[in-house]
Amino acid sequence: MWIVDKYIEYVKEETQKNPEQSFDKILLGFKANKMRTKVLPKGGLAKGYQKLEAMMMSLVADSLGKPDSYVWGNIFAPCELMQCFDLATLSVECLACYLSGYHLEDYFIDFAQSTGIAPTLCSYHKTFVGAIDSGTVPVPQYAVTTSLSCDGNLNTFRYLEKKKGVPFTFLDVPYEDDDESVAYLADQLKSFVGELEQRFGKKFEIEKLRRSLEIENETRQLLMEFFRLQSERYYPGELISHLYLMMGMHLMIGTPEFLELVRFLVEDIKNYPPFEGKKILWVHLLPFYQESLQHYFNENDKYQIIASDIILDSVEMLDVKDPFTALAKKIIRNMYNGSYAHKAEIVGGLAEHLHPDAVIQFCHWGCKQSAGGSLLLKEELQKKNIPMLILDGDGIDKRNSHDGQIKTRLEAFLEMLDTLDKDSQRGQARQYRDGQSDAKRQEEQEEKVC
C-alpha cells in the first residue's frame, strides 16, 4: 500500500499549497479507491461489508464526479425525496469523513477556525466548511437540511449560502410528536418537492415515492434481522463498516440497490460461525481512525459491535398510502429528536431486543445533544443492568482524541465486563451447587424420615 500512502501524502500537500486546484486529484483518488473496493476488497472483512464499502465509495465518487447529480444534505435530510428526482444526497458528515481519508481534516478545520468559526463546533461541520470555503471542493446547485438533532445544520448551510451562493431548503422539525407537528412538517416536505421540481425541471411522481417507502420498510425490517443475527454470529467488520451502514441507511434508504445489499447481509451472515465474545451496542458516532478501538473492534472475534443507534435511529413503519405524512412522522419520531427520555426508550428497546453485554457511547467533540444526555442514558441502562461506558473524543479530528486515554478506559471497561461474566458464571455455578446440595439435603431428610 506504499503507493496509496504516497498518493494521499501528495494530495494533502498539493491541497495545502493550492486548495482551488486539487479537486481533480482528490476525485481521482476516490475513483481509484472505488475500483479497489470492487476488484481488491479488504481480505479480512465479511463479504457483505466488502460490498457495502464498495457501494458507499461509488456513491461518493460517482456523485462528486457529476456536480449536477447530487444535492448537499445533512444526515437526516429525506433522501427519498431526492431519489424521486434521480438526485443523490451527499451529507456534511459523509463528505467530511471521506476528505479525512486524505488526512486533510486538520487543514480544513484550521482553515474554518481561522475565519472565525468556533473551535468548539462539531469537527464534521468544521471540516466541511473548511473544504468548501477554501475552494477545494466544488459546490452543487442546491442543498437541503433539517433542524433535527444538530444546531450546526442550519448555520452551516446558511453560512455557505452566503459565502458560496448555494441555496437551500430548511426543514424545521418540531420537538413534539403530535398531529400538528406532523402536518407542519409534511407541508414543508411538499413545498420542498415543489422547489426541487422547479430547480431540476422534473415532474414529481408520487408513485415513485410510494415505491421508495415500500422498499424502505422492507429494508428496515431486514436490517433489524441482520442486527439480531449479528448478535449471534461472528461477522468480521471494522469500525468504519458501521459508518458505511449508517450512510446507507440515511443516504440510500429506499433504493433497490441498498435493499439488495441488506438482503445479502442477512443471507451471508448465516454462513459465518457463532459469535462467543462480548456483544457491544454502540451509541452515536464511531471514531474509525482510533487505534485502540480498531484493535478491539476491527475483525475481532472477542468483541463485536452488533448494532448502533445511528444506523437504526428511526424504527417507524411508513404508511405508503400517505407518503408525506409518513416521512414527516419518521423524521419527528427519530430517536435524536425530542427529549432524551425518548432516545433512552428506543436505545433501551434495542438493548432488550438484541441483549448486548454492554453499551458504549462515544461523545463526539462539539456534539452537545449527544454528550449532554450521556449521563441520563447511563442511568437508564443501569436500571436494566446493562453496563455502559462513556468515551470522550472526536469522530474525525485526531487532535481532540487521545488514544492513550481512550485505551485505558476501554480496556478497564472490557476487563470489568470479563469480571462480571466470571462473577455471573460463579454465581450460576454456586446456584447449581446450592441447588444440588439442597436436593441432596432433601434426599437425606427424606431418608431420615423413612
Partner 1 sequence: MLGYICKYAPVEIFESMGETIKRIEPQVTNFTQADMRMHPNICSFAKGVLEEVMQSDYDGIVLTTCCDSIRRLYDVLKEEFPDKFIYMLDTPRITKEAGIALYERRIRDMIRAYEEYSGKTFDEEAFAKLLRERDEEEQLAVASGRLNIGILGARANEEIHRILESQGAGAAFDLTCTGLGRKLLYEPEAVMTGYVRGLLSQFPCMRMEQASGRDELIRRYADSVDGIIYHTVQFCDNYAYEYAWLKNWMKKPMLLLETDYTKQSEGQILTRIQAFLESLGSDRDGAAKQQKSDRQMKGAEKMYVMGIDSGSTSTNAVIMNEIKEIVAFSVVRTGAKSGESAAKALEDLLLKAGLKKEDLALIVSTGYGRVSISFADENVTEISCHGKGAHYFNPNIRTILDIGGQDSKAIHLNEEGEVKDFVMNDKCAAGTGRFLEMIARTLEIDIAELGAIALTSTEKIEITSMCSVFAESEVISLIANNKEKADIANGVCHAIAGKAYSLLRRVGLEPDFMMTGGVAKNPGVVRAVEEKIGAKLYICPEPEIVGATGAALYALERARG
Let me know: does 255 contact 215? Beta carbons within 8 Å: yes
How far apart, in whole angstroms, are the C-alpha atoms of residue 24 and residue 34? 15
**Contact mark string toward partner 1, 307..326, x via CB under 8 A:** --------------------
* Residue from 64, 104, 121, 312 in contact with partner 1 (CB under 8 A): 121
Q: What is the Cα–Cα distance from 403 to 378, expressed in whole angstroms?
A: 23
Residue closest to 227 by CA, chosen among 282, 278, 266: 266
| 398 is an interface residue for partner 1 by CB under 8 A | yes
What's the min distance (Å) between Cβ of 363 and partner 1?
6
Indicate whether 172 belongs to the interface with partner 1 (CB under 8 A).
yes
Shortest distance in whole angstroms from residue 76 CB to partner 1 = 14
Rounded to a whole number of angstroms, the minimum distance from the CB of residue 319 to partner 1 is: 22
Give the binding range for partner 1 (CB under 8 A) out of 20-28, 110-118, 211-219, 425-433.
Answer: 110-118
Q: Counting every residue, how long is the chain?
A: 450
Q: Taking every pair of C-alpha atoms in the chain, what is the biggest distance, in angstroms?
A: 98
C-alpha to C-alpha distances, 143 to 79, 101, 219, nearest whole angstrom: 11, 23, 26
Cβ(99)–Cβ(112) below 8 Å: no
User: With CB under 8 A as the contact rule, which of the stretches 16-24, 40-48, 289-297, 360-368 interacts with partner 1?
Assistant: 360-368
> Judged by CB under 8 A, which of 68, 176, 411, 434 binds partner 1?
176
Q: Which of 81, 84, 306, 363 binds partner 1 (CB under 8 A)?
A: 363
From the list 47-55, 216-224, 242-250, 398-406, the region that binds partner 1 by CB under 8 A is: 398-406
Ranges within 135-164 binding partner 1 (CB under 8 A): 147, 149-152, 154-156, 158-159, 161-163
Q: What angle do CA 170, 171, 176 make, to 5 degrees?
A: 145
- Out of 25, 28, 32, 113, the only residue in the binding site for partner 1 (CB under 8 A) is 113
- Mark 188-207 with x for binding to partner 1 (rule: CB under 8 A) and - for no binding: x-------------------
Nearest distance from residue 379's CB to partner 1, in Å? 8
Asked if residue 368 binds partner 1 (CB under 8 A), the reply is: yes
Does residue 6 bind partner 1 (CB under 8 A)? Answer: no
Binding-site size, partner 1 (CB under 8 A): 56
Candidate segments 35-43, 303-311, 316-324, 402-410, binder of partner 1 by CB under 8 A: 402-410
Site for partner 1 contains 291 (CB under 8 A): no
Sign of CA dihedral 125, 127, 129, 132: negative
CB 153 within 8 A of CB 146: yes
Supply the minimum distance, in Å, between the C-beta of residue 404 and partner 1: 6
**With CB under 8 A as the contact rule, which of the stretches 42-50, 278-286, 303-311, 371-379 interacts with partner 1?**
371-379
Q: Which is nearer to partner 1, 291 or 423 (CB)?
A: 291
Pick from 43, 116, 201, 273: which binds partner 1 (CB under 8 A)? Answer: 116
Q: Which is nearer to partner 1, 27 or 371 (CB)?
A: 371
| Plot region of 323 (φ>0 → left; ψ -120 to 50 → alpha; else → beta) | alpha
CB nearer to partner 1: give 73 or 248.
Answer: 73
By CB under 8 A, name the binding residues for partner 1: 106, 110, 113-118, 120-122, 147, 149-152, 154-156, 158-159, 161-163, 170, 172, 174-176, 180-181, 184, 187-188, 339-341, 363, 365-369, 371-376, 392, 398-400, 402, 404-405
